[in-house]
Amino acid sequence: MAAPRCPECGSASLVEDAHYAQQQLVCASCGCVLAEGLLTTTYTDEEHLREVAYSQSTGQKEQLSRCLQRGIRRVQDLCKVLQLPAAFEDTAVSYFQRALQLPAFHLCSLEKKEVLGGCCVLVTCREHNWPLSMGTVCSLLYARQELFASVFLSLQKELQLSVPALSLADLVTTHLSSFRLLQPSANIPAAFLEDRERLLGRTLGLVELSRQAWLVTGRHPLPVLTAAAFLAWQSLRPGPRLCCPLRRFCRLAGVELPPPAHLRLRELLEVLLAMASQLSWLRGFKLDKKTVVKHVGDLLQHRVFLLRKAFRELDGDEQDTAPGQGSPGQDPGCPSSLGTQAQGCPPAGKRPGGPLRLLLPPCLLHPRKRLRAPAPSAVALTGDEPISDSEIEQYLRGPEELQAFRKAKGWL
Amino acid sequence: SSFKDDFSTSPHLFTPMSPYDVELPIQTAEDGVFASQLSQSKELHTDFSSVDLSFLPDITQDNKEQNLSEDGHGTQKELDGSLPSNEDSGVSTDESSLSHPGTAQPSPEAPDDCPPLTPMTPVTPPTSAESSGIVPQLQNIVSTVNLACKLDLKNIALHARNAEYNPKRFAAVIMRIREPRTTALIFSSGKMVCTGAKSEEQSRLAARKYARVVQKLGFPAKFLDFKIQNMVGSCDVRFPIRLEGLVLTHQQFSSYEPELFPGLVYRMVKPRIVLLIFVSGKVVLTGAKDRSEIYEAFENIYPILRGFRKPS
């Protein structure tokens, strides 16, 4: 930067001088004041075109407690790591400041305060429909899931927030972008590489199918996502990929394999197999869990129709009980052979593939609890029945027992 | 008997046989007692014949077996055999529905004496035409009572067989009795908490038994300020529920975080009850001080859940 000159006398000899406490840039020859250090901390800062933050120059930070400062810094770091838009940072910091003032969080442990910062970031992301799962935040903060859960719920209650639900479709998009199978790499065979858009489209279709088949409600979202992504990837090029198990797929993709993913995969394959039994051009084949993967594309394309045909609804309007009526609202994309088949659909027992199963959540199809019949109460109690002495005495220790017990306790 | 006089003055559409319905098990109404009571009440209330009972499903033994084979949900039907899965169909208003009523009415035991508990508002499980026909079952009652004397917990733990006392873990004696099957926490101040009973009367009887045990151990225990603090009920709406849809339409009341808990937590404002709603259709209601709050809360939530019955 060229040496500044005094506007009045043109001299180049400028000195930085302090007039009382105020920094001033003064010309040595004529005494003209060029600049006063009001808005910047030092002239050198401004000279080097470095922006001096308002918070630094006005002592705003000193008004905040050190704990709050540290917490705000953590929240800001978290936002930067997650590459969130700038607006999210301010919202998250404001939530954090509000929360920390409340008695519930003011005196809690440092660990909890850090988790609170993570919760504020999560709430901000949810409100802007930015898909961020709790698992991700927990792993970034090295926080325990139970602690995170309790802090999140109490934050919701204290600040009276209604946090929108996690959008599964958006989560698919962000989760898939972290998959390493989308770019060429040394340890990934060429046959395993996949185009991002194709994988995304098919995974979204499978996730939507899972949602309709009650596989998503009440369950962790990530295992379903992982299973759907795996099936989608396999189905896009079944030949070389069918032999690759789920564990290896996750290792190659560089993502964690959540334990329930195997179960979700099995459930999803069952649904696909049931649907495949209704596809006329597949009836001839005896499909199993491996071979049905090849036809996932077709199954997804006619998903709406197949779901209705392959499963019974819980309500009375089951199509198989009314063979006279045609299946209403058929998928217009399906070939005409399917249409005639549907109109003449046989009752449940004679349907190829055995009797239809109900489209229900797996917890209803395979109830694990042995449901106890309600204990019948023979007599109407009033609560004031007489209590016999013998009944009470059965709960009291006799003298011999007392002695024996005392002796036994003495040994302990 | 005298109890009938209490109700003759207030002609409800259908009144229970006792103000506090003791047990409302979801059973098929095959007991003859039920049918006979119903016919008795027909004599009592003349407008009973005009009551529209068409909402009651047509429950017969054959119906139950048919439903079993239909969807193969044997285990489910054993418990709640009274409600067929296709409850929209099969509604009839002929005599058979009157003689085999559905679960809407409570099964009245024969209370020959006046109930000593002061009846508050008549606790009627709603039986209007739009009601669900499902009655939540009480699963747990928590009550407190003041024994009004200082207690030596070590002494109690020594002399009572059914007591456990670990002062390092918890500063109270944990005592259990077999009938009614309950657990009590007895504190040295003389206050006691009784949990595990399935009805208000059971809770009161159990609390009295614990007080009697403490009395027999030599303490001048009284029985003051018995109060029901919390009641938990549960029931099954018999169809799966789209929780993600429910949380969208009732966002201000619901909290559904599948990453944290598989059920949806619905905080109802009136009555102030918390409901846990699961995808299987099972509903847990808690936070009630009175049984009517549980019934009311369920009747409020049932039409909302019905709205989510059809899959998207």
Q: Which residue among B25, B116, B281 sits closest to A384, beta carbon to beta carbon? A: B116
DSSP symbols for B266-300: EEETTTTEEEEE-TTSEEEEEEESSHHHHHHHHHH
Q: How close B63 comes to chain A (CA, Å)?
A: 15
Is A395 within 8 Å of B160 when comparing Cβ atoms?
yes
Report the Cα A248 to chain-centroid distance in Å: 23
Q: What is the DSSP letter of B57?
A: B
B172, B200: one domain: yes
User: Which residue is closest to A385 within chain B, CA to CA?
Assistant: B205
Is A391 within 8 Å of B209 when comparing Cβ atoms?
yes
Q: How close B161 comes to chain A (CA, Å)?
A: 5
Residue A33 parent element (H or E)? strand A33-36
Give the pLDDT of residue A174: 86
More confident call, B82 vs A99:
A99
Q: What is the DSSP letter of B153?
A: H
**In which residue ranges of chain A is pLDDT below 70?**
1-3, 37-57, 59-62, 313-356, 370-379, 412
Report the relative pairing of strands B137-146 and B191-197 from DSSP bridges.
Answer: antiparallel
Question: What's the mean pLDDT when you consider all of chain B?
Answer: 73
How far is the C-alpha of B287 from the C-alpha of B20, rounded, in Å? 19
How far is the C-alpha of A356 from the C-alpha of A312, rounded, in Å? 6
Give the pLDDT of residue B128: 55
Chain A positions in Cβ-Cβ contact with residue B85 (cut-off 8 Å): 314
- In a domain? residue B282: yes
Chain A positions in Cβ-Cβ contact with residue B111 (cut-off 8 Å): 380
Asked if B53 contacts B42 with a C-beta cutoff of 8 angstroms, the reply is no
Chain A positions in Cβ-Cβ contact with residue B212 (cut-off 8 Å): 387, 392
Q: Which residue among B110, B244, B259 sits closest to A134, beta carbon to beta carbon? A: B259
Q: Which residue among A163, A363, A380 sits closest to B111, beta carbon to beta carbon? A: A380
Chain A positions in Cβ-Cβ contact with residue B252 (cut-off 8 Å): 162
Is the pLDDT at B261 greater than 50? The verdict is: yes
Domain boundary residue, one of B174, B193, B228 = B228
Q: Which amino acid is at A87?
A: A
Task: Give B48's pLDDT tier (boundaries 50, 70, 90).
Answer: low
Give the pLDDT of residue A180: 83
Is B110 within 8 Å of A396 when comparing Cβ atoms?
no
Helix ranges, B72-179 (H) = 74-79, 95-99, 153-159
HSE-up of residue A146 (Cα within 13 Å, Cβ side): 0
Asked if A359 contacts A307 with a C-beta cutoff of 8 angstroms, the reply is yes
Chain B positions in Cβ-Cβ contact with residue A392 (cut-off 8 Å): 209, 212-213, 216
How far is the C-alpha of B106 from the C-alpha of B176, rounded, in Å? 30
B224, B243: one domain: no
Each residue of A307-356: pLDDT tens digit?
Answer: 888 877 655 443 443 333 334 433 343 343 333 343 334 443 344 445 66
Task: Give B75's pLDDT tier (boundaries 50, 70, 90).
Answer: very low
How far is the C-alpha of A126 from the C-alpha of B249, rounded, in Å? 17
Is the pLDDT at B167 greater than 80? The verdict is: yes
Cα-Cα-Cα-Cα torsion A91, A97, A102, A107, nearest 10 degrees, comes to 130
Burial category of A140 from C-beta neighbours within 10 Å (exposed 0-12, middle 13-18, buried 19 and up): middle
User: Considering its fold, how many domains does chain B have in total?
Assistant: 2
Chain B positions in Cβ-Cβ contact with residue A122 (cut-off 8 Å): none
Is the pLDDT at B151 greater than 60? The verdict is: yes
- In a domain? residue B290: yes
Structure tokens at A177: 């972008």
Burial category of B130 from C-beta neighbours within 10 Å (exposed 0-12, middle 13-18, buried 19 and up): exposed
Domain boundary residue, one of B228, B263, B294 = B228
Residue of A115, A161, A217, A388 best to disrupt the B interface, most CBs of B under 10 A: A217
Most confident among A377-391, B64-78, B200-214 (mean pLDDT): B200-214
- What pTM was estimated for this model as a whole? 0.67
Give the pLDDT of residue B129: 52
Report the relative pairing of strands A357-358 and A311-312 from DSSP bridges.
Answer: parallel
Cα-Cα-Cα-Cα torsion B110, B113, B117, B123, nearest 10 degrees, comes to 40
DSSP symbols for A254-287: T----TTHHHHHHHHHHHHHHHHTT-GGGTTS--
**Residue A7 preceded by cis peptide, ω within 30:** no
B181, B216: one domain: yes
Chain B positions in Cβ-Cβ contact with residue A368 (cut-off 8 Å): none
How far is the C-alpha of B140 from the C-alpha of B145, rounded, in Å? 17
Domain boundary residue, one of B198, B228, B258 = B228
List of residues 6+ apart from A134 with CB closer than 8 A:
A122, A145, A148, A149, A152, B257, B259, B260
B189, B255: one domain: no
Percent of chain B with pLDDT over 90: 48
Q: Which domain holds residue B251?
A: 237-311
Segments making up each domain of chain A, as ranges: 1-38, 66-165, 169-313
How far is the C-alpha of B126 from the C-alpha of B106, rounded, in Å? 10
Taken in order B271, B273, B279, B282, the sign of the CA dihedral is negative
Q: How close B262 comes to chain A (CA, Å)?
A: 4
Is A381 within 8 Å of B260 when comparing Cβ atoms?
no
Q: Which residue among B204, B280, B312 sits closest to A383, beta carbon to beta carbon? A: B204
Is the pLDDT at B14 greater than 60? The verdict is: no
CATH of domain A66-165: 1.10.472.10
Residues in chain B, how many? 312
Give the pLDDT of residue A48: 62
Is the pLDDT at B6 greater than 70? The verdict is: no
Give the pLDDT of residue B183: 96
- In a domain? residue B204: yes
Is A165 within 8 Å of B281 when comparing Cβ atoms?
no
User: Which residue is closest to B241 within chain A, CA to CA?
Assistant: A217
Q: Which residue among A166, A314, A394 sits closest to B239, beta carbon to beta carbon? A: A314
Counting one residue from chain A and one from chain B, the pairs whose CB atoms sit within 8 A come to 167
More confident call, A305 vs B282:
B282
**Residue A260 preceded by cis peptide, ω within 30:** no
How far is the C-alpha of A183 from the C-alpha of A181, rounded, in Å? 6
The ipTM is: 0.72
Average pLDDT for B210-238: 94
B160, B198: one domain: yes
Helix ranges, A142-195 (H) = 145-158, 168-177
Residue of A170, A209, A222, A314 best to disrupt the B interface, most CBs of B under 10 A: A314
B221, B264: one domain: no
Give the pLDDT of residue A181: 80
B212, B161: one domain: yes
Asked if B211 contacts B203 with a C-beta cutoff of 8 angstroms, the reply is no
